[in-house]
Structure 1
Amino acid sequence: MEIYLDANATTPVLAQAAQAALQAMADDFGNPSSVHSTGLKARALMDAARERAQGLLQTGGGQLLFVSGATEGIQTAVLSALHALRERRDSADHKAELLLYGATEHKAVPEALKHWNQILGLHLQIVAIPVDREGHHDLDFLQREAPRAGLVCTMAANNETGVISDLAGIEASLLRSGSRAFWMVDGVQALGKIPLQLAKTRIDYAPFSGHKLYAPKGIGMLYVREGAPFTPLMAGGGQEGSRRSGTENMSGIAALGAVLAALEDGISFRDHATLQAFRARLARALEEAFPGLVYNAPLAQTLPTTLNFAVPGLSSRLLQDLFDAAELRISGGSACSAAKAQPSFVLQAMGLPDWQAAGAVRLSIGPAVDEAFIIEACARIRACGESLRNNCLSPQDNQPTPGEGITRFALDGACCYLLADAASQRCVLIDPLPEQLPRLIQTLQCQAYPLVAVLSTQGSGLHAEARQALAEELGEALFPPAEIDALGWPVRMSELQLGAKRLRRVLPPGGRQQALVLSEAGREALLFGEPGAECAELAGLCAPALDAGAQFARRLNPAAAPQPLSEQLLPGAQLQAFVQAHPDAVLVDVREPYEQFLSHTPPLWGATLQAVPLSRLLNALPAWLARPEQPLLFFCRSGNRSRQAAAALASLGHAQAWSLSGGLALLPAFAPEDPALLV
C-alpha cells in the first residue's frame, strides 16, 4: 500500500466528490444553459456549488467563475489586468512601467506575464519581488516600486515550501504607496488550509485549483473583485455570464461542490491544530531517520501540511528513490518542474546554499489524512533511515559494510571507480572528484579497508585535489608525495595487488595520462581510462573515465566483438508470459541496495532473481557476455536505470537484453492470494 505524501502536487479524489461526479454524469447530466427540467437541475447543482465557494471564500459582491484550473485562472487574471493597463495607457490615464511578481511564485505566473505582455504589446518591465531567507516578500521593495507597477502578483502560500505570505502586510504596502496596481493572489495552496476573506481585502483576482484539495483535475475557480476589470480568455456561447464561454464541466463542479460541503461538515477534514500535530510527528520521524536534516523554511511560518527539507550528503534524487522504495510518495519540489532535476528556483530565490536548493525534497499531506495514515508514514520514514544506516549512506551511525568488487560513482558523465577486495581488505580509488568526496569518504570509512592508492587516468588537477583531501580526511599516509608520480602511481611499484587481482598501468608516450588494467587469472582484463595503441593486444572491456551516454563499458577489441544490438522493452503486462516463455530468464534488479532493502520484488513465477545495482554493473558484465543468448530482464523503479543496463549489454552484443518498461511503478497489481505469486 502506498502512502501518498505529495498532496501539494495533487490529491486523490474524495469519495464524496467521486460519487457526486458520477451522479452528475449519470443522473444530473443536463446542460445548465437548457431551460427544460434536466437543464434546470444541472443549473441548481452548479449554483449550489458556487454559493458554497462564495461563502467559504467570503467573496461578497465579487464574481466567482468556474474554470479548468489555476493556470487558466492566472491567464485570465493577467489578461484582464494587462488589457486594462493598455486601455489606461491609450487614454493617458496612467502609464505603468512594471509588472511585479513574487520571486518564489509558481512558474505559471511569470510565464503568463511574459506571454500577455508581449501579445498585448505593452513591453513593460517584468520584475521579481525579492524574498528573504524565510521566503517572505521584501515589503520595503514592494512599497518603493509599487507606484510604478501596473500589476502585482503574489501567492497566499508557497507550493514548494508552504510559506504563508503576509497578505495583510502586502496590502498595507500597496495602500501606503498609493499604487493603482491591480493585485492577483494565487490561492491554490491556501484553499481549505487557511481562512480567506477575499471581499475584505484589496485583492482583485484569486485563482484556485480543485485537484489540490480532493476534487478531480480539470476544475478550478477564479475570484474577480467587484469592480475589477475583466476580459474573457475565451469567447463563445456566453456561459458564466459571458465571462468564460464553453459548456460547464458539470461533473467537476459537482465534485468540487462535494469537497466544499465536506469542508463545512467538520468531519472529513482535520482542523489546523490536528494538522500541526500530525506534521510534528512526521518531523520527529524525519529527524530520527536523517540526522542533520535541515528544514528549508521555518515550520512555524508554513502551512501545517508541508515539510520541505534537505539532508547533507544526500541528493534529492537519492531521497526520492529511497522513499519511493518504501512506497512513500514525495517530490523534489513543484510537480511541474520536479522531473527536470534542477535546483529549486524557490530556494535559490530565498538565498539558501546550493546544496540545499539542489538537495531539497517536499513532503506534503492533505487535510483529510487520519491517525492511521500518519502512524504508517512515520514507521516507513524510520525504515528509510534504517536502510541508509545499513547501506553506509546515513549522516550518522552507519553499520560496517564490507566491500567487494567495483563500484562506479558517476557525476555529470565523469566516472570514479572504487576497487575493493574483501580477501586482502584493500582498495584503490580511480579518478575521484572533489564533489564526490563526502560519499566516497563515507563509503571508505564504512568498509574500513586501507586505501592503497588514489589514481588518475586523465592527469586532472581535480583528481590530485581529491587525493590530497582524502589523505587529510582519512588520516592515511597513502604514499608520500615523493613516492608517487603526478598520476598517483607509486613510483617503486610495477603493479598493485588486490587479493587475486592485479592492477597495472599502461603509459602512452608523454606520460600525461595512464590506462589502468585490472586482471585476474582466468578472466578477461578490465581497463580503466582510454586505451591507446599500447593496449591493442588486450582482450576485455574498457570502463571509460567519461561516460556521458551511460554506456558503462565498451570492447577493447571492437573488430572481434559481436555486432552491437538495441535493447528490448517489455511492458509490465507481459511479464508473466515472458517468464513462462523463457524459463531460463534471469530477472535483474538494478536498484541500489538501499532501495532493495525496503521494497518488494515483482512476481517471479519461478524465474531466477539477481540483484546487481547499476553502480556495480561492471562486476556482472563478463559473466553475462559469456552467455549472450540467455534472456536477461532488467528492472528498477521507473524503467530508466533498467533501460541503461539493457542498452549497455545490447551495445556489447548481448542478444537477449530486456528492460521492464515503466519499471515497478507501472507493473500491474497482482492479488497477494494468487498462488502463482508464492512460487
Structure 2
Amino acid sequence: MDGMIYLDANATSPILPAASAAAQATLSANFGNPSSTHAVGLRARAMLDATRACARRVLGASDGRLLFNSGATEGIQTAVLSTLVDLKARGATGGLLLYGATEHKAVPQALAHWNAILGTGCEVRALPVDANGQHRLDILREWAPQARLVCTMAANNETGVVSDLAGIEQVLQGSRALWMVDCVQALGKLPLELSRTRIDYAPFSGHKLYAPKGIGMLYVRAGAPFTPLIAGGGQEDGQRSGTENTAGIAALGAVLDALLAGGTFHDHATLENYRDRLVDALVAALPGLVFNMPFAQALPTTLNFSVPGRSSGDIVDLFDAAGIQVSAGSACSSAKAAPSYVLEAMALPDWRAASAVRLSFGPAVDEAFIDAACARIGHCGRALAGCSVSATRDVYPHDIEPAAVLQPAQWAAFFADHPDAQLVDVRETFEHAAGAATLRGRALYSAPLSRQGEFVPAWLAEQDHALVFVCRSGKRSARAAATLRHLGRNRVYHLAGGFALAGEA
C-alpha cells in the first residue's frame, strides 16, 4: 500500500506546483520589499498589483477593497472589528450579532471577543439551521430588524453544504445589518460575483486551494465600514500594516491565474462523477454507512458520513493505516473528543454526530487519484470485515506519571544501545489488517489496546528487555506505556509521534 491518498483537502491542500514555483522565484530572485522604490522593490510591487487584479477578476470584485492578509481568521476579525467600531462611533450599541449555528468556531469566538473588548452591548446569537444544514430564513426574517451583523458561510467546511446566499440576501433587503460571508470553501468550487451581491465582507484562505498557509484575502464592499486590524507602516494602502508576504501572494497569484486560465481545475460535473465513485466505494466497504449531508445541496468535493458501531476514531485510524488521510469532522476540532457541533446543529442523531468522518478532495485531483482512492477504500473494507473494535478508547487512566518518551531522532541510538528491545504495536486488529505491522524495517509485536489486559501479566513477569509502545499518533501508546510503568514494569518507553513521525528521523 505504497503512497499517500490525501482526502482531507478541506483542512488544507497540497501546494500547486505552479504556486510552489512562484513562491520559490519570489524568495530567490524577486525578493524585494514592495514599499521600496528601487527596481527590485518595484518588481515586487508589480507582482502584488497583478495578483490583486487577478483576484478581482476571479472573485467578481470590480470595486470595493481587496487586501491581502494571513487568512480567513484574520479576515473575520477585521470584519467584526470594523462593524463594532462603526456601531460604537454611531452610538448604535445593542442589537444582535448573528452567526449561523454551523459556522466555523472562528466566527462566534471573534464576535464574543470584540463585543466584550469594545463594550458594544450586543447579544451574540446563533441562527439555527434545518436538517439539511440550511439557515432558517424564517427565523432570520424575524431577527433581521434587530441585527447589526449577520455571519454566514458560502459552504460548510464539515459537510460541504452550500448556503442559500440568494435567499439570505433577499431576507436582508431593507435591513441595516452588515453581512459577512465566509468564502473559504467557495474559492475554486463556486461561482463568485461579489460586487453584484449585498455581501459586505468576504474572507478567504489560500491554503484551502493549493496555496501555502499564511496567505489570504479579505473583500470589503465599497462603502462598508472598515477599521484596520493591524496598524503600523501603512502597507496595503493603510488597510493592513506589516511587510507583505510576497512569496505567499505570488503563490496565491499562481492559483488564481490557473482558475482564470482553466484546465487545472475540474468542472462541477466531473467533480460530481468523482464524488459518486467515492460514494460507491465507501458504501461497499462500510456496511450501514449513512451520509450526513444532502448531496443536492453540497459541494461535490466533500463527503461526511457515519458508520453504525464504529467511532470516528476507528475509521480515521483504519484509513490512516492504509495510507488514506481523512478527518473526524473539522480539522480544527477533530483532535478533541466531542461530537460534531455542525451535525448537532442539524439535529442529527447523537451517534451520527459523535462518529462523523469527513472525506474531502480538491478540484485539481485527477481520475488516477480517484481510482487509487477507491481501491484503497475497498482494501479498508476487507481489513475491517470480521475484526472486533474496542468497546472504549479510554482503557487507561490519564492521571498517572507518563512513561519515558522516545523521540524519532533518538531511534537509531536507542536501538543500538538496546538491541533486544521489543516494539509493541497497540493499534487495533483492523488497523494491522489495513497496514503492515513493521516500522523502519523492525518487526512489531501486536497487542491491541482493547486487549492489553491479556498481556500485562507476562510483561510484568519478564523485565529483562525494554518495551517500546507505538501507535498511529503516539497518544494511545503513551497512555499504555504509562499505565504499565505505573503497574511496576521497568524500561517502558513510547514512541512520540508514532507511525506518523517515525520516518522523519
TM-score scaled by structure 1?
Answer: 0.72
| Runs (5+) with no aligned partner, structure 1 | 394-407, 414-546, 552-564, 671-679
Query: Paired residue for 1:354, among 347, 350, 368?
Result: 350
Q: Which amino acid aligns with 2:310?
A: L
The equivalent residue for 2:228 is 232
Q: Is the 8 A contact 1:65 1:244 kept in 2?
A: yes
Q: Which amino acid aligns with 2:312?
A: S
What is the RMSD computed on CA atoms of the aligned residues?
1.7
Distance change in 2, residues 1:604/1:185 (3 Å) = closer
Q: Which amino acid aligns with 2:224?
A: A
Is it true that 1:580 corresponds to 2:380 in the alignment?
no
Aligned-residue offset at 1:604: 5.7
Q: Following the alignment from structure 1 to structure 2, what is the Cα–Cα distance between the partners of residues 32 and 198?
A: 27
Q: Is the 8 A contact 2:402 2:478 kept in 1?
A: no
The equivalent residue for 1:600 is 436
The equivalent residue for 1:115 is 113
The equivalent residue for 1:188 is 184
The equivalent residue for 2:15 is 13
Query: Paired residue for 1:140, among 138, 159, 179?
Result: 138
Aligned-residue offset at 1:580: 3.1
The equivalent residue for 1:463 is none
Q: Is the 8 A contact 1:585 1:608 kept in 2?
A: no
Aligned-residue offset at 1:359: 0.7
Q: Is the 8 A contact 2:398 2:479 kept in 1?
A: no
Aligned-residue offset at 1:149: 0.7
Q: Is the 8 A contact 1:310 1:359 kept in 2?
A: yes
Alignment deviations for residues 159-214 of structure 1 (CA, whole Å, 9 cap, x no partner): 11000001000000111xx2101110000000010001000000000000000001
Q: Following the alignment from structure 2 to structure 1, what is the Cα–Cα distance between the partners of residues 264 and 379?
A: 29
The 3-state SS of whatever aligns with 1:664 is helix
Aligned-residue offset at 1:411: 6.5
Aligned-residue offset at 1:589: 1.1
The equivalent residue for 1:242 is 238
The 3-state SS of whatever aligns with 2:444 is strand
Whose radius of gyration is greater, 1 or 2? Answer: 1
Alignment deviations for residues 358-406 of structure 1 (CA, whole Å, 9 cap, x no partner): 111100001111111111111111111111113146xxxxxxxxxxxxx
Distance change in 2, residues 1:392/1:245 (3 Å) = same
| Runs (5+) with no aligned partner, structure 2 | none
1:304-315 equivalences under 5 Å are: 304-315=300-311
Q: Following the alignment from structure 1 to structure 2, what is the Cα–Cα distance between the partners of residues 609 and 156?
A: 47
The equivalent residue for 1:302 is 298
The equivalent residue for 1:270 is 266
Alignment deviations for residues 442-468 of structure 1 (CA, whole Å, 9 cap, x no partner): xxxxxxxxxxxxxxxxxxxxxxxxxxx
The 3-state SS of whatever aligns with 2:424 is strand
Q: Following the alignment from structure 1 to structure 2, what is the Cα–Cα distance between the partners of residues 409 and 171?
A: 48
The equivalent residue for 1:591 is 427
Is it true that 1:333 corresponds to 2:333 in the alignment?
no
Query: Paired residue for 2:166, among 161, 165, 168?
Result: 168
The equivalent residue for 1:660 is 495
Q: Is the 8 A contact 1:215 1:256 kept in 2?
A: yes
Q: Is the 8 A contact 2:85 2:118 kept in 1?
A: yes
Q: Following the alignment from structure 2 to structure 1, what is the Cα–Cα distance between the partners of residues 375 and 393?
A: 32
Query: Paired residue for 2:150, among 152, 157, 162?
Result: 152
Q: Following the alignment from structure 1 to structure 2, what is the Cα–Cα distance between the partners of residues 617 and 584?
A: 21
Q: Following the alignment from structure 1 to structure 2, what is the Cα–Cα distance between the partners of residues 113 and 39?
A: 38
Q: Following the alignment from structure 2 to structure 1, what is the Cα–Cα distance between the partners of residues 227 and 314?
A: 46
Is it true that 1:641 corresponds to 2:476 in the alignment?
yes
1:80-479 equivalences under 5 Å are: 80-88=82-90, 90=91, 97-175=95-173, 178-392=174-388, 409-410=391-392
Aligned-residue offset at 1:409: 3.6
Q: Is the 8 A contact 1:5 1:329 kept in 2?
A: yes
Aligned-residue offset at 1:549: 3.6
1:564-579 equivalences under 5 Å are: 567-579=403-415
The equivalent residue for 2:452 is 617
Aligned-residue offset at 1:30: 0.7
The 3-state SS of whatever aligns with 1:339 is coil
TM-score scaled by structure 2?
Answer: 0.96
> Aligned residues, how many?
503
Aligned-residue offset at 1:95: 5.8
Aligned-residue offset at 1:646: 1.6
Q: Is the 8 A contact 1:628 1:653 kept in 2?
A: no
Q: Following the alignment from structure 2 to structure 1, what is the Cα–Cα distance between the partners of residues 373 and 445?
A: 29
Aligned-residue offset at 1:69: 0.4
Aligned-residue offset at 1:412: 5.5
Q: Is the 8 A contact 1:97 1:150 kept in 2?
A: yes
Q: Which amino acid aligns with 1:356?
A: R
Higher relative contact order (CA 8 A, sep 6+): 2
Distance change in 2, residues 1:586/1:95 (3 Å) = closer
1:503-582 equivalences under 5 Å are: 548-549=397-398, 567-582=403-418
Q: Following the alignment from structure 1 to structure 2, what is the Cα–Cα distance between the partners of residues 160 and 608?
A: 38
The 3-state SS of whatever aligns with 1:340 is coil
